Amino acid sequence: MANQIGMAQAFAIGALLDQGWSHRRIAAALGVHRETVARYARLRSEPAIAPIGSNAADGPANAVLEPLGTDPKPATAAEAPHGSAGSTRSRCEEHRELICAKLGAGLSAQRIWQDLATEHEILVSYHSVKRFVRTVRGGAALPFRRLECEPGAEAQLDFGTAAPVVRPDGRRRHPKFLRITLSHSRKGYTEAVYRRTAEELIRCLENAFHAFGGVPATLVFDNEKAAVLNADWFDPDLNPKLAAFCAHYGTVLLPTKPRTPRHKGKVERGVGYVQDNALKGRVFPSLAEQNQHLEAWEQSVADTRIHGTIRRQVRQVFEECERSALRPLPAERFPHFEEATRIVHRDGHVEVAKAYYPVPPEHMGREVWVRWDARVVRIFDRRLRPIVVHARIEPGRFATGKQFIHPHKVSAVERGAGRLLEEARLIGPQTGRWAKSMLEARGVPGIRVLVGLHTLARKHTADQIERACAIALGHGSYRLRAIRQLIARGGPSQETMGFMDEHPIIRTLDEYAKAAHVAIHHPHARAETHAHSPGPLHRPRSWTPGLPPEGAATHQAGSETAS
């Protein structure tokens, strides 16, 4: 087996050496060469000095080659400053090319130390590799830059754990407190709350502004859910209510970078100061009494202290420099309102405090933002663009307005009798007269008849409806069924001809009078007339069905004589 061992075998060698096993026995038990065990034993016996300021926790947990209790090896020539006396050469220097190649591949100092031991059998301490890697990379990291703010330019805020509240019944609650610190003077304001909501945050900020007597230009806060809906260093999504509060007071909220508390280091230390100095070891019977204690502590202790950084009294710096630099307070406090998101129902309404308010039909099924107070309800889209404003109504009622109903959803009956009569007159004058008379005769039920008349205009021509309405009006029929039947029977009207007084083929009345006179006074002519005109009106009285009428034989004989 080659003289390459893994980290597990390195652990085993160290443990067996501590138990007093010989190199030969360890090599036989682990299947490694005795020289390998000897090298590990020599390396364990060499002292090592960790760099100044280092911590044993900085090294890897499996750094068994540096037994607990030994001092790290002294700094070498590669790590020591140029020209320093007594510096020695680093054991990693002869492997510089290999280490630099692994650094170029993006490996960490711990991974490089592991690879040197397991892949290349280069047994050096972890601290030596770490110091050499830091030297190759160009030294220690750059120090943080301190940023001091101008008076009135910034306030930092953060939540902390307040003192417990124990009620008379023994119930124990653990509230939070909000600490607001002006970055220039370190003037602070602290208020305890039970919930870390946007409403509580706004109330505390407003109380702090009035306690300071002005408003800072910017507010630095972390990505608390009460303030930031979606954390993003470049484009955060702020709580709309908090954004409206900042606009009302003329300030701006600037969330810190996620998981970077040092961006608000001044208030971070202030939170610890409140916990350790004002609240530690205290218990209060109510939240109001805790806030009274915090207010008195701010004035008597926090404002009178000499701050460790600015080396001046906090109240003095605030009064002399920062109070006048704060922006003025607005004339009114921020209006108290509630807000939430709502989905527009299929009936075009949103529910707010058990009442229902209409929204234009184009927003049906979409999410809107609703704000309401004791007087009005304001509805916005998701970009906080105003949609509509309603007056508050009682729970259980609908604030429906006709302006929010789509025209296709307005029935013909809702349009009124006047509108329906006007539509009937547009079909034709006869239709208009019939519709007016029908409505006068039938009253309210006639409105639906007008709606039905309007639907007939979609299926039939105006001329057909006009003829039917004219006939129905002439007969005083005011049923829609009659109009339908007249249209169904209809088609074009039949042509009529007027009677003529004279025509070549028409005999005069005098000739008809002479013919009648002859028929009456001459029997033979009468019989002849009867023979040529046999009909029920000219049958003899004695005639019996099935037998020839009287005079038939005489007529026949006369005919033969004549012939």
Q: What is the pLDDT of residues 295-308, one digit of tens each?
A: 999 999 999 999 88
pLDDT of residue 410: 54
pLDDT of residue 477: 85
pLDDT of residue 412: 53
Find the mean pLDDT for residues 101-127. Answer: 88
Cα–Cα distances (Å) from 433 to 406, 424, 464, 466, 468, in that order, read 32, 9, 15, 10, 12
Task: Dihedral sign for Cα 258, 262, 265, 269, please.
Answer: positive
Q: Return the higher-pLDDT residue of 524 and 265.
A: 265
- Answer whether residue 494 shows pLDDT above 70: no
- Residue 187 CA to residue 211 CA, distance in Å, equals 10
Ranges 25-29, 88-92, 271-275, 552-556: which has the least confidence? 552-556
- Residue 518 CA to residue 343 CA, distance in Å, equals 103
Q: Which long-range contacts (CB under 8 A, 24 or more apart) does 273-281 make?
A: 273/302, 274/160, 274/177, 274/179, 274/188, 274/190, 275/160, 275/161, 277/301, 277/302, 278/190, 278/302, 279/162, 279/163, 279/177, 280/163
Domains of the chain, residue spans: 7-137, 154-325, 338-409, 426-489, 509-558
Task: Dihedral sign for Cα 479, 482, 488, 494, please.
Answer: negative
- Answer whether residue 542 shows pLDDT above 50: no
Report whether 12 contacts 127 (CB < 8 A).
no
Structure tokens at 97: 């090319």
Sheet holding 252-255, edge to edge: 188-193, 176-182, 154-161, 218-221, 252-255
Cα–Cα distances (Å) from 326 to 157, 158, 322, 330, 375, in that order, read 16, 20, 7, 12, 33
pLDDT of residue 426: 87
Q: What is the per-residue DSSP string for 329-391?
A: PPSSPPPP-EEEEEEPPTTSEEEETTEEEE--GGGTTSEEEEEE-SSEEEEE-TT--EEEEEE
- Answer whether residue 513 shows pLDDT above 90: no
Residues 393, 395, 396, 397, Cα dihedral to 10°: 0
The percent of residues above 70 in pLDDT, for the chain, comes to: 77
The count of other CB atoms within 10 Å of the CB of residue 303 is 18
- Answer whether residue 384 shows pLDDT above 70: yes
pLDDT of residue 375: 81
Confidence of residue 145 (pLDDT cuts 50, 70, 90): confident
pLDDT of residue 174: 94
- Answer whether residue 553 shows pLDDT above 50: no
Structure tokens at 252: 């701006």
Most confident of 142-156, 311-325, 361-375: 311-325
Q: Return the higher-pLDDT residue of 508 and 462.
A: 462
Mean pLDDT over all residues of the chain? 79
- Give the tens place of pLDDT for each residue, 282-338: 999 999 999 999 999 999 999 999 988 888 999 999 999 999 999 999 999 998 888
- b vs e for 28-58, b when ≥16 Cβ sit within 10 Å of the residue's Cβ? eebebeeebbeebeebbeeebbbeeeeeeee
Ranges 276-280, 365-369, 402-406: which has the least confidence? 402-406
Q: Return the higher-pLDDT residue of 340 and 297.
A: 297
Best CA proximity match to 215, nearest among 303, 155, 297:
155
Ranges 160-169, 413-422, 546-555: which has the least confidence? 546-555
Ranges 109-113, 200-204, 449-453: which has the least confidence? 449-453
Find the mean pLDDT for residues 216-239. Answer: 90
Q: Kindly tell me the burial class for residue 124, based on how many C-beta atoms sit within 10 Å of its own C-beta (0-12, 13-18, 19 or more).
A: buried
Confidence of residue 20 (pLDDT cuts 50, 70, 90): confident
pLDDT of residue 500: 52
Structure tokens at 169: 């019944």
Most confident of 103-112, 502-511, 547-556: 103-112
Structure tokens at 478: 């005011």
Domain topology for 154-325:
Nucleotidyltransferase; domain 5 (3.30.420)
Q: Return the higher-pLDDT residue of 36 and 273.
A: 273
Report whether 215 contacts 180 (CB < 8 A).
no
Confidence of residue 554 (pLDDT cuts 50, 70, 90): very low
pLDDT of residue 314: 94
- Give the tens place of pLDDT for each residue, 52-109: 434 443 444 444 333 333 334 444 433 444 334 344 678 888 888 899 888 888 888 8
Q: What is the per-residue DSSP string for 14-78?
A: HHHHHTT--HHHHHHHHT--HHHHHHHHHHHHS-B-PPTT--GGGS-TT-TTS-TTPPBPPPBTT
The count of other CB atoms within 10 Å of the CB of residue 512 is 10
Find the mean pLDDT for residues 208-222. Answer: 95
pLDDT of residue 394: 85
pLDDT of residue 4: 58
Contacts of 407 (CB under 8 A, 6+ apart): none
Whether 338-409 and 154-325 are alike in CATH topology: the answer is: no
Find the mean pLDDT for residues 174-189. Answer: 95
Best CA proximity match to 367, nearest among 405, 340, 404:
340
CATH 1.10.3470 fits 338-409, yes or no: no
Reduced to 3 states (helix: H, G, I; strand: E, B; else coil), residue 90 is: coil
Q: Return the higher-pLDDT residue of 255 and 58.
A: 255
The count of other CB atoms within 10 Å of the CB of residue 286 is 13
The percent of residues above 90 in pLDDT, for the chain, comes to: 29
pLDDT of residue 402: 67
Find the mean pLDDT for residues 277-286. Answer: 94
- Answer whether residue 176 shows pLDDT above 70: yes
- Residue 488 CA to residue 483 CA, distance in Å, equals 9
Report whether 217 contacts 149 (CB < 8 A).
no
Find the mean pLDDT for residues 4-21. Answer: 79
- Give the tens place of pLDDT for each residue, 400-439: 766 666 655 555 555 667 778 888 888 889 888 898 888 8
User: DSSP code of 215?
Assistant: B
